[in-house]
Amino acid sequence: MNDAVDKVVDVIGGLIRKNKTKLEKKHKGSAALDSFIADYDFADETFEEEDFEIARTKNIPVKPMSVEEAILQMNLLNHQFFMFKDADTNEIAVVYKRKAGKYGLLIPDEDAD
C-alpha cells in the first residue's frame, strides 16, 4: 500500500511541476492588466438603478503566494478566478481565466480616483 501511495505522489508531483513550468513559460513578460483594459469595451457598460441581490457570501483565507501559484490553485479548484495576497507586493490581487485561454491579473490601484 505504501508503494502505491508513493507512486501516486510521484505522478501528481510530476503533473504539478509540468503545469507550473507550462504556466511560467506562458506568463513571462505578459502585461495582463494592460491586455484586460485594451480588450474590454467600457462603452457597452450601462447600469440601471436596480437592486442587486447577493445570493451567497463566502469567507476565504487569503494566503501570500506568487501569481503562478495562484493560477495553479485556481486550476486545481477548477474556478474562473482566484483571489490571493501577492507575496512580492503584499497586496490583494485576482487572477482570472480569459476567453482565449490566457489568464488575467487584477492589481489594486490606490491612486485611482
| Residues 13-32 pLDDT 10s | 888 888 877 777 666 545 55
pLDDT of residue 55: 86
User: What does the buried/exposed string (b/e) look like for 54-81 if buried means 16 or more CB atoms within 10 Å of the residue's CB?
Assistant: eeeeeeeeeeebebbbbbbebeeeeeee
Which one is the CATH code of 31-106: 3.30.505.50, 3.40.50.300, 3.20.20.70, 3.30.70.360? 3.30.505.50
| Residues 74-87 pLDDT 10s | 888 888 899 999 99
For the residues 84-104, what does the mean pLDDT come to? 90
pLDDT of residue 96: 93
pLDDT of residue 36: 58
Enter the pTM of the model: 0.51
Q: What is the DSSP letter of 87?
A: T
User: 64 and 87 in contact (C-beta within 8 Å)?
Assistant: yes
